[in-house]
């Protein structure tokens, strides 16, 4: 991690469950100083390297950066209280899946910038993917956030919210799908007589090794599959099942579509709540 990288002081994390915790884990692992961070969460469960409190009144001076890391369904409850502590000097980074920038801006009208970020859970080990989007963040803010999220893996700014949603449905949700694939590979290994422990390790290492080879050599997935599957061999027989009538492509497309539709529903709920 770039030694000059710093978090704005103060930075507030409002909520710190799976995703907020993963981001802080990644930054901590990269050596970033987390002392500017105050975590505000109802349970008060401590987060290493930060100050953790249960309410805004105990959070200290108004924040320069606020990361919204609670569930989208909590927005109506949190926004009216949080708004009181923010100013034109505050940048909001919202992790809330599906809640559009315009809906956030309506709830936090006076803040300096509203940025949406969709990270994936491997940010915890600095191998995440983060999509960023804003209509009102200045160049310096964009650069600072780009540096902070690039320290957690791969980060990119998206041109519009539909592309951000597309990134979210592939990369944000993706670790869950990859986890299911590895689990299915594991179960198949167990059915062929391997112990659960061995099957789990080799399934995981197979996915890791394949991704690592592609990432480090630039080789495409078509080429990798071709190099593994010799004509009329065992792998080709397996691929015929996965490829047959687009089985895998259709399954993944339906999976991603379902996530994308749920994102659209969440966006609609957030829009409707603002108008109500
Ligand atoms: N998980 C993912 O892979 C993923 C990917 C992309 C985006 N996201 C987004 O990240 C956000 C957080 O998801 P998550 O998976 O981290 O959820 P989570 O594990 O359930 O964590 C939710 C957090 O919100 C806190 N919270 C609940 N009510 C609150 C309140 N009134 N004020 C302040 N904090 C409150 C909880 O505090 P306590 O811990 O004290 O109970 C908890 O820390 C969501 O908006 C989600 O859409 C998640």
- Strand 37-40 to 153-157 pairing: unpaired
Probe ligand 1: pick from 69, 72, 153, 168, max atoms within 8 Å of CB? 69
Rounded Cα distance, 214 and 218, in Å: 5
Q: CB of 11 within 8 A of CB of 39?
A: no
Confidence of residue 268 (pLDDT cuts 50, 70, 90): confident
Using the predicted structure, report yes or no on whether residue 153 has a pLDDT greater than 70. yes
Residues 156 and 95 in one domain: yes
What is the tens place of the pLDDT at every residue in 170-185? 999 999 999 999 999 9
Q: Give me ligand 1 centre to Cα 250, in Å.
A: 31
Confidence of residue 270 (pLDDT cuts 50, 70, 90): confident
Q: Which residues neighbour 55 within 8 Å (Cβ) at sequence distance 6 or greater?
A: 40
Using the predicted structure, report yes or no on whether residue 169 has a pLDDT greater than 70. yes
Confidence of residue 266 (pLDDT cuts 50, 70, 90): confident
Number of domains in the chain: 2
In short, whether 164's Cβ falls inside 6 Å of ligand 1 is: no
pLDDT at 4: 84
pLDDT at 244: 92
> Between 130 and 231, where is the model more confident?
130
Mean pLDDT across the chain: 95
Residues 71 and 208 in one domain: no
In short, whether 266's Cβ falls inside 6 Å of ligand 1 is: no
List the CATH number of the domain containing 197. 1.10.3730.10
What is the pLDDT averaged over residues 5-21? 97
Using the predicted structure, report yes or no on whether residue 2 has a pLDDT greater than 90. no
Give residue 180's Cα distance to chain centre: 17
Q: CB of 62 within 8 A of CB of 34?
A: no
Rounded Cα distance, 74 and 273, in Å: 12
β-pair partners for 131: 118, 156
Residues 70 and 116 in one domain: yes
pLDDT at 273: 77
Q: Give me ligand 1 centre to Cα 71, in Å.
A: 5
In a domain, 206, yes or no: yes
pLDDT at 81: 96
In short, whether 20's Cβ falls inside 6 Å of ligand 1 is: yes
Confidence of residue 65 (pLDDT cuts 50, 70, 90): very high
Q: Whose CA is nearest to atom 44 of ligand 1?
A: 71
In short, whether 96's Cβ falls inside 6 Å of ligand 1 is: yes
> DSSP character for 62?
P
pLDDT at 264: 85
Residues 186 and 133 in one domain: no
Residues 133 and 234 in one domain: no
In short, whether 14's Cβ falls inside 6 Å of ligand 1 is: yes
Domain span including residue 256: 174-263
> Between 263 and 223, where is the model more confident?
223
Q: CB of 109 within 8 A of CB of 136?
A: no
E strand intervals along the chain: 11-14, 37-40, 51-53, 65-68, 91-94, 113-119, 128-134, 153-157
Using the predicted structure, report yes or no on whether residue 231 has a pLDDT greater than 80. yes
Residues 128 and 24 in one domain: yes
Ligand 1 atom with minimal separation from the 94 CA:
45
pLDDT at 263: 83
What radius of gyration, in Å, describes the C-alpha atoms of the chain?
Answer: 21
Residues 138 and 221 in one domain: no
Ligand 1 atom with minimal separation from the 42 CA:
40
Residue 215 burial (CB count, 10 A): 11
Q: Whose CA is nearest to atom 2 of ligand 1?
A: 19
Q: Give me ligand 1 centre to Cα 52, in Å.
A: 15
Using the predicted structure, report yes or no on whether residue 275 has a pLDDT greater than 70. no
Determine what percent of the chain is predicted with pLDDT higher than 70.
Answer: 98
Residues 137 and 16 in one domain: yes
What is the tens place of the pLDDT at every residue in 30-52? 999 999 999 999 999 999 999 99
Probe ligand 1: pick from 16, 39, 41, 104, max atoms within 8 Å of CB? 41
List the CATH number of the domain containing 23. 3.40.50.720
Q: CB of 95 within 8 A of CB of 130?
A: no
Asked which of 152, 168, 184 is the last residue of a domain, the reply is 168
What is the pLDDT averaged over residues 15-41? 98
What is the pLDDT averaged over residues 11-29? 98
The pair of three-digit structure tokens given for residue 127, joined into one six-digit string: 């191998």
Rounded Cα distance, 138 and 208, in Å: 37
Asked which of 153, 168, 183 is the last residue of a domain, the reply is 168
Handedness of CA 131, 137, 139, 145 (dihedral sign): negative
In a domain, 241, yes or no: yes
Q: Give me ligand 1 centre to Cα 78, in Å.
A: 12
Asked which of 149, 168, 187 is the last residue of a domain, the reply is 168
Using the predicted structure, report yes or no on whether residue 1 has a pLDDT greater than 90. no
In short, whether 149's Cβ falls inside 6 Å of ligand 1 is: no
């Amino acid at each position: 991690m770039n030694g000059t990288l710093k978090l704005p002081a103060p930075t507030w994390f409002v909520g710190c469950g799976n995703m907020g915790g993963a981001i802080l884990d990644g930054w901590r692992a990269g050596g970033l100083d987390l002392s500017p961070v105050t975590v505000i969460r109802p349970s008060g469960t401590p987060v290493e390297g930060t100050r953790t409190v249960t309410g805004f009144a105990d959070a200290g001076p108004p924040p320069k950066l606020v990361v919204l890391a609670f569930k989208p369904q909590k927005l109506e409850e949190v926004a009216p209280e949080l708004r009181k502590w923010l100013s034109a000097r505050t940048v909001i980074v919202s992790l809330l899946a599906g809640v559009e920038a315009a809906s956030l801006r309506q709830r936090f009208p006076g803040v300096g910038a509203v940025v949406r970020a969709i990270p994936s859970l491997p940010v915890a080990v600095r191998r995440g993917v983060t999509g960023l989007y804003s209509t009102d963040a200045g160049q310096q803010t964009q650069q600072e956030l780009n540096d902070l999220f690039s320290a957690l893996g791969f980060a990119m700014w998206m041109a519009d919210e539909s592309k951000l949603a597309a990134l979210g449905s592939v990369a944000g949700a993706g670790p869950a799908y990859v986890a299911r694939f590895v689990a299915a590979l594991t179960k198949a290994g167990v059915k062929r007589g391997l112990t659960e422990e061995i099957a789990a390790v080799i399934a995981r290492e197979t996915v890791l090794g394949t991704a690592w080879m592609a990432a480090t050599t630039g080789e495409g997935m078509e080429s990798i599959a071709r190099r593994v599957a010799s004509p009329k061999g065992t792998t080709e027989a397996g691929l015929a099942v996965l490829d047959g009538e687009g089985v895998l492509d259709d399954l993944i497309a339906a999976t991603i579509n379902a996530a994308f539709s749920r994102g659209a529903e969440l966006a609609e709920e957030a829009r409707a709540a603002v108008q109500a």
